[in-house]
């Protein structure tokens, strides 16, 4: 039995080489100047660059707004899809996931062309629309999953004890579905905060997001500065994933 644990060895080596080492390299390049000497100047450059700071703030704002919109639009959709009363076929949820099989860049381009054709100027509004359009399935699916597996007897018990449908939803269904909401938040926030090509298409390059600056720097050979920006992004991602994991765990602990 113990010998078969050795089967994980090749993958362990692979992970070390292609996951751990690359991340260490990001950190290493972040603390080096172009000649390979230790420096903190790359961080100084970021914190003294008003453009970069502004882009950073805009990216966070757009990501938070996209995530919030996805919850607001996606939760009711997931709830309807999971309720036996309103939707009896399992195919409808598949319809929401299907568009994702078409190349995301192509879909985004078509969206922006569609906006141009009906005369909507490209800007923040179209950016938010496009982002919600691209990432909504990532919000609907986890919420739908939790809701459709939920034990209905809790809601029925609350109802039998005299709670109104609104109270049942507020006190029972919503809290029980929060783990799904948190995993949806994670799955939408992460890609939106780091996106680059999509934002260029949807705003005609009017809006620069954080991902775009990382790409610009790496492509123009400014690896060290690009590495600092990536490291900052990693910190944001780390904080969000820890926070949402803890939230999700807390929610399910409190309830069961």
Partner 1 sequence: MKKFLAKSYIWILLAVMYAPLVFIAVFSFTESRVLGEWSGFSTQLYQNILTGDMQGASSLTDAVKNTLIIAVIAAVVSTLLGTIAAVGIHNLRGRKRQVISFVNNIPMINPDIITGVSLFLLFVFLGVTQGYTSVVLAHITFCTPYVVLSVLPKLQQMNPNIYEAALDLGATPAQAFRKVLVPVLKPGMVSGFILAFTMSLDDFAVTFFTRGTEGLETLSTYIYADARKGGLTPELRPLMTLIFLIVLILLFVINVRQGRLARRREGAAKVAL
* Residue from the set 143, 191, 199, 251 that interacts with partner 1 by CB under 8 A: 191
Look at residues 189, 185, 174 and name the one whose alpha carbon lies nearest to residue 254. 174
Those residues whose C-beta lies under 8 Å from the C-beta of residue 82, and which sit 6 or more positions away, are 144, 147, 148, 150
Q: Give min distance, CB of 87 to partner 1, in A.
A: 7
Q: Among residue numbers 90 through 149, which ones bind partner 1 (CB under 8 A)?
A: 91-92, 94-96, 98-107, 109-111, 113-114, 116-117, 133, 136
Residue 38 is classified by DSSP as B
Structure tokens at 129: 């629309």
* Residue from the set 201, 203, 228, 248 that interacts with partner 1 by CB under 8 A: 201
Q: Among residue numbers 33 through 72, which ones bind partner 1 (CB under 8 A)?
A: none
- What is the Rg, in whole angstroms, of the alpha carbon atoms belonging to the chain? 22
* Residue from the set 193, 207, 225, 248 that interacts with partner 1 by CB under 8 A: 193
Look at residues 51, 43, 53 and name the one whose alpha carbon lies nearest to residue 227. 43
Q: Give min distance, CB of 19 to partner 1, in A.
A: 5
Check: CB of residue 192 under 8 Å from CB of residue 65: no
State the binding string over 3-32 for partner 1 (x if CB under 8 A, else -). Answer: -xxxxxxxxx-xx-xxxxxxx-xx--x---
Sign of the alpha-carbon torsion through 82, 87, 88, 91: negative
Task: Give the interface segment with partner 1, choosing from 53-61, 147-155, 174-182, 186-194 (CB under 8 A).
Answer: 186-194
Structure tokens at 138: 């990532």
Report the residue number, 125 or 255, with the smaller CB distance to partner 1.
125
Q: Tell whether residue 174 is a contact of partner 1 (CB under 8 A).
A: no
Task: Give the interface segment with partner 1, choosing from 47-55, 155-163, 169-177, 210-218 (CB under 8 A).
Answer: 210-218
* Residue from the set 218, 222, 247, 252 that interacts with partner 1 by CB under 8 A: 218
Distance CA 96, CA 104 (A): 14
* Residue from the set 41, 71, 128, 197 that interacts with partner 1 by CB under 8 A: 197
Report the residue number, 77 or 158, with the smaller CB distance to partner 1.
77
Task: Give the interface segment with partner 1, choosing from 34-42, 75-83, 156-164, 176-184 (CB under 8 A).
Answer: 75-83
Query: By three-state DSSP, how is residue 32 classified?
Result: strand
Alpha helices in the chain (DSSP H): 9-15, 21-30, 41-47, 50-82, 91-97, 104-117, 124-149, 152-160, 165-168, 174-194, 197-203, 210-219, 223-255
* Residue from the set 33, 53, 72, 76 that interacts with partner 1 by CB under 8 A: 76
Q: Give min distance, CB of 42 to partner 1, in A.
A: 14
């Amino acid at each position: 039995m113990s010998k078969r644990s050795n089967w994980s060895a090749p993958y362990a080596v692979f992970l070390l080489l292609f996951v751990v080492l690359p991340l260490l390299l990001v950190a290493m390049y972040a603390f080096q100047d172009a000649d390979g000497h230790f420096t903190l100047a790359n961080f100084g450059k970021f914190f003294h660059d008003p453009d970069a700071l502004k882009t950073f703030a805009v990216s966070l704002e757009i990501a938070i707004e996209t995530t919030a919109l996805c919850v607001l639009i996606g939760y009711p959709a997931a709830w309807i899809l999971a309720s036996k009363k309103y939707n009896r076929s399992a195919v409808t949820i598949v319809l929401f996931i299907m568009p994702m099989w078409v190349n995301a860049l192509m879909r985004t381009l078509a969206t922006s062309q569609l906006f141009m054709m009906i005369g909507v100027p490209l800007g923040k509004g179209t950016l938010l629309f496009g982002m919600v359009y691209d990432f909504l399935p990532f919000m609907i699916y986890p919420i739908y999953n939790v809701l459709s597996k939920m034990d209905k007897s809790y809601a029925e018990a609350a109802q039998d004890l005299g709670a109104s449908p609104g109270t049942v939803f507020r006190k029972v269904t919503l809290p029980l579905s929060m783990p799904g909401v948190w995993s949806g938040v994670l799955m939408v926030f992460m890609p939106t905060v780091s996106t680059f090509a999509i934002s260029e298409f949807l705003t005609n390059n009017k809006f620069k997001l954080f991902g775009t600056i990382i790409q610009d720097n790496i492509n123009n050979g400014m690896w060290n500065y690009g590495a600092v920006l990536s490291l900052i992004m990693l910190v944001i991602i780390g904080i969000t994933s820890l926070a949402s994991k803890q939230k999700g765990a807390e929610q399910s602990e409190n309830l069961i």
